[in-house]
Amino acid sequence: MTIKSIKVYKKNLALTRPYTIATKTISDVESVFLEIELSNGIIGLGAANPAKEVVGEDADMSFQNLQSDGIQRFVGRDIAEIYSILPSVSAAFPHAPGTLAAMDIALHDAFCQYLGVSIAQFYGQKIEKMPTSVTIGIKGVTETVEEAKEYWDAGFRVLKVKLGHDMEEDIERLVKLRERFGQAIRIRVDANQGYETSQVAYFFNRIADLAIELVEQPTLVGQEKPLLTLPYKIRKQIAADESLKDLPMALFLAGTKRVGIFNIKLMKCGGIKEALNIATIAQAANIDLFWGCNDESIVSITAALHAAFSCAHTKYIDLDGSFDLAEDVVQSGFVLENGVMSLPKGAGLGLVR
C-alpha cells in the first residue's frame, strides 16, 4: 500500500492553566501536525512539539522540515517499508527530533491501521493500564496545596511537582503536601536542572522522610559525570530527562549507572522506534522507564502511551501534556479514569477525530 500524500499544518493550542517551571512560564502550545494518506484512504496522523531549549528544534523548524522535499520524496513509497523509511528520514534530518517524531508517529499510525492492529499490539502490549502523574508548576506553598486538592478531587493520586527556583521553598511545598494528603498520594518531583550537583545530596537528605518517588533531572545537562560522587541509593532515584536525548547518551548513562530511571520523551529522541531502542538499552541495564512529555496534542501523547505499554519495565508515566489544552485536532486517543490511563480498542493510534 503506497503513500499517496503527505500534508503538514500548524496550530497554536492555548492552555487552560498556564504554569511555571524553573526556566520559563508556559501559556500556549505551538504544535505541528502531519497527515500521511495511503492509496486506500487510510490517514496516519503525527504531531510535533519539541522544546528548543532541550533539543535545539522548535515547532517552526519542524514545520519547515516537514513541508520540504526531504519529506515529500517519500510519497509513492510502500507503507510496508516503514523500517527503511524511518532511517532515511533520520539521515535527512539528523538533529531534528520533532521532525522525526511527527513522521515516525504518522507512519506507525498508518502502518498499524493498514495491519488492523494497535501500535501497542504490534510491538507486543505488556501493560493494560497505569496511573499517570499530573503536574503542578512552580508556585507558592498555599497555591501548590490548593491545586493538589483540585487534582485529588478529580481522581488523581500521583503528583509531579516542579521545583528549582528556591530549594527551601521547594522542600516546604513537599512537606505541606505530605501533611495535607499523608501517604494517600504518590509524589514525584522535577527540578528541571535547577540545582547544583553539590546541592543534590543535601536535598535528598532533607526529603528522606517524605517518601518522594523519584527526582527528575536535578542538575544541568553536561553535569552527568559528577553524579557518580553521589551514593547509588540516591542515583537510583534520579531520572535522566534533558540529558537523555539519544542512543549514545542512553548507552553512557546505562553503562555508568549514573541514574536509575530513564525519562523517555518522543519529542527528545525522535519518535516511537527510537524510544523503544532506548528502552531496550534500559532493560539490559536494569533501569526503570518513566515516560514523559511536553505540552502536546493527544496525538503524540497517545503515541507515547502505546510505546510505554509495549515495555514490561515501564514503571512510571507522566503523560498529562494534553490535559490542559483548550482545543486539539482529535477528541480522544486514550481513556482516562480517576488518573489512570488505558488504551481503547482500535487500529493504529485509535484516534477519534
The domain that contains 222 carries what CATH number?
Answer: 3.20.20.120
Of the candidates 137, 154, 201, 149, the one whose C-alpha atom is nearest the C-alpha of residue 177 is 149
Residues 55 and 172 in one domain: no
Q: What pLDDT is attached to residue 124?
A: 98
Residue 347 lies in a domain: no
Q: What pLDDT is attached to residue 25?
A: 77
Q: What pLDDT is attached to residue 164?
A: 87
- Beta-sheet pairing, 335-337 with 340-342: antiparallel
Rg (CA), the chain: 20
Residue 104 lies in a domain: yes
Residue 71 lies in a domain: yes
Residue 216 lies in a domain: yes
The residue from 117, 142, 169 where one domain ends is 117
pLDDT in tens, 264-321: 999 999 999 999 999 999 999 999 999 999 999 999 999 999 999 999 999 999 999 9
Residues 72 and 139 in one domain: no
Q: What pLDDT is attached to residue 161?
A: 97
Q: What pLDDT is attached to residue 28?
A: 83
Q: Is 332 in contact with 311 (CB distance < 8 Å)?
A: no
Distances in whole angstroms, Cα of residue 169 to Cα of each of 166, 175, 208: 5, 10, 16
What HEC string does the chain produce? Answer: CEEEEEEEEEEEEEEEEEEECCCCEEEEEEEEEEEEEECCCCEEEEEECCCHHHHCCCHHHHHHHHCCHHHHCCCCCEHHHHHHHHHHHHHHCCCCHHHHHHHHHHHHHHHHHHHCCEHHHHHCCCCCEEEECEEECCCCHHHHHHHHHHHHHCCCCEEEEECCCCHHHHHHHHHHHHHHHHHHCEEEEECCCCCCHHHHHHHHHHCCCCCEEEEECCCCCCCCHHHHHCCHHHHCCEEECCCCCCHHHHHHHHHHCCCCEEEECHHHHCCHHHHHHHHHHHHHCCCEEEECCCCCCHHHHHHHHHHHCCCCCEEEECCCCCCCECCCCCCECCEEECCEEECCCCCECCCEC
* φ, ψ (nearest 5 deg) of residue 283: -65, -40
Q: What pLDDT is attached to residue 24?
A: 67
The residue from 78, 101, 117 where one domain ends is 117
Of the candidates 44, 131, 258, 160, the one whose C-alpha atom is nearest the C-alpha of residue 249 is 258
User: Which CATH number covers residue 45?
Assistant: 3.30.390.10
Residues 155 and 8 in one domain: no
Residue 353 lies in a domain: no
Residues 134 and 112 in one domain: no
Residues 223 and 247 in one domain: yes
Residues 85 and 194 in one domain: no
Q: Which domain holds residue 29?
A: 3-117
Of the candidates 297, 318, 349, the one whose C-alpha atom is nearest the C-alpha of residue 131 is 318
Residues 10 and 140 in one domain: no
Residues 142 and 192 in one domain: yes
In angstroms, how far is the first alpha carbon of the chain from the final one?
A: 23
Residue 171 lies in a domain: yes
The residue from 48, 83, 117 where one domain ends is 117
Low-confidence ranges of the chain (pLDDT < 70): 22-24
pLDDT in tens, 100-124: 999 999 999 999 999 999 999 999 9
Residue 328 lies in a domain: yes
Distances in whole angstroms, Cα of residue 75 to Cα of each of 9, 65, 271: 17, 15, 20
| Structural domain total, the chain | 2
Residues 104 and 228 in one domain: no
